[in-house]
Amino acid sequence: MGLQAPRGTRDILPAERVYWQYLETTARQILDRAAYHEICTPIFEYTPLFERGIGEATDIVSKEMYTFNDRAQRSLTLRPEGTAGVVRAYIEHGLHSQGGVQRLWYLGPMFRYERPQAGRYRQFHQLGVEVLGSADPRADAEVIAVALDILQALGLKELTLMLNSVGDREDRSAYRQALLDYLTPYKADLDPDSQERLDRNPLRILDSKDPRTQAIVKEAPRLLDYLSPRSRNHFEQVQSLLQDLGINYQIHPALVRGLDYYTHTAFEFQDLSLGNEGTVCGGGRYDHLVEELGGPATPAIGWAMGLERLILLLRERPLPPRTAPYLYMVTRGEAAERQGLILAQQLRHQGYTVEVDLSGSAFGKQVKRADRVGATVCLVIGESEATDHTVQVKWLTSGEQVLVSQRELLSENWRSRFFASA
């Protein structure tokens, strides 16, 4: 086996990481303003959490989990998503007993054994939110609005919000029977995956990408027609709140999502420019999951965004400018090198980014490197500057150059000049 990253995983090199940092900072700020609090849960959990939480018949549990036994023969699974772990932590730490609504968010790697392609990986990253303890349709509207804020702040423009209600368990079991009655006579015409789903998870057939199956499904009974008055009322209220917030949406009756825990509201944000893997965010209500995992009955709703997909879109645009001045220290000769090292450290303590050239090469070569790394200013200390404890300040954009004392460079006066040119 060669020394390569495993199939479906990828290294994020520094040139790409800056986009991730930008994404994380932007999202953090928006989540903070909406009073969401960060939570971190382990990357692996006991396997039954996902089997019970996500559902044994789902693709995720039946064929995509990274499951292994540890040395004590306990079955563990790398988390394929974040909701089950957050709910486990919510129950385990009694967060419900704090009363009120818990608004939580998380960011981290998830693992699914899927067929890799652009925008789909085996290790990928999700940013997610979970709001626990409210059945109010305002919670549905709020999480959707927060997701939209993040996607828009990142500059996504070709966004569509697809909305559906998958009803409650009772609505779904009535619908499931109607769907089975309709699809069973067509069994032989369905694609092989859908044939298999007919017994296990017929609702997922609605999601099939196969054109023949799609044509059959088009005429199938609609889940929306099987909603109880209570479910219908919730769905209508969510829509009316979204309208109040000026958020456009399309109702998509076939949107069922790939996890079993959903009830009522289900939604996805798609970005058309991404093609096949265009779903940048998916979520919904899951009013029974906390109880099913052993906690008190607690309605909840959340979503998760696939960050690799957002990065694909972000990378097409220029990077946002840096906020701190980037100074590049060019020195030659032993005394200059020592002074450069000390001055760099003092400047860092004042909030500048300072890179020291360690190459020992000619001045010209060092200055060229300063240009290449995108520095704002070059600080040059040669033999005569070292003798006088001065430094040449050279602006890389204008070429302007000034000789100042090293002490003067640390003054407030220079600080405002540098920050103005960052």
Note the residues at the interface with ligand HAM (CB under 6 A). 81-83, 112, 114, 120-121, 124, 126, 128, 130, 258-259, 279-284, 286, 302-306, 308-309
- Check the CA dihedral 112-116-119-121 and report its sign: positive
Task: Name which of 227 and 259 has its Cβ closer to ligand HAM.
Answer: 259
Task: Name which of 259 and 378 has its Cβ closer to ligand HAM.
Answer: 259
Provide the token pair at 211. 């054109």
Q: What's the closest the beta carbon of residue 278 comes to ligand HAM, in angstroms?
A: 9
Give the C-alpha separation, 239 to 390, whole Å.
Answer: 67
Q: What's the closest the beta carbon of residue 121 comes to ligand HAM, in angstroms?
A: 4
Task: Name which of 112 and 234 has its Cβ closer to ligand HAM.
Answer: 112
* Among candidate residues 356, 353, 351, 350, the one with its CA nearest the CA of residue 391: 356
Beta-carbon contacts of 400 under 8 Å, excluding residues fewer than 6 positions away, are 394
Give the C-alpha separation, 239 to 24, whole Å.
Answer: 29
Which runs of E-coded beta strand occur in 101-228?
Answer: 102-111, 123-132, 159-165
Task: Name which of 36 and 121 has its Cβ closer to ligand HAM.
Answer: 121
* Among candidate residues 382, 311, 254, the one with its CA nearest the CA of residue 126: 311
Q: What's the closest the beta carbon of residue 64 comes to ligand HAM, in angstroms?
A: 8
Residue 370 and residue 330 in contact, taking contact as beta carbons nearer than 8 Å: yes
Task: Name which of 146 and 393 has its Cβ closer to ligand HAM.
Answer: 146
Residue 124, CA distances (Å) to 11, 141, 414 in order: 11, 27, 44
Residue 317, CA distances (Å) to 125, 148, 154 in order: 21, 19, 10
Task: Name which of 112 and 332 has its Cβ closer to ligand HAM.
Answer: 112
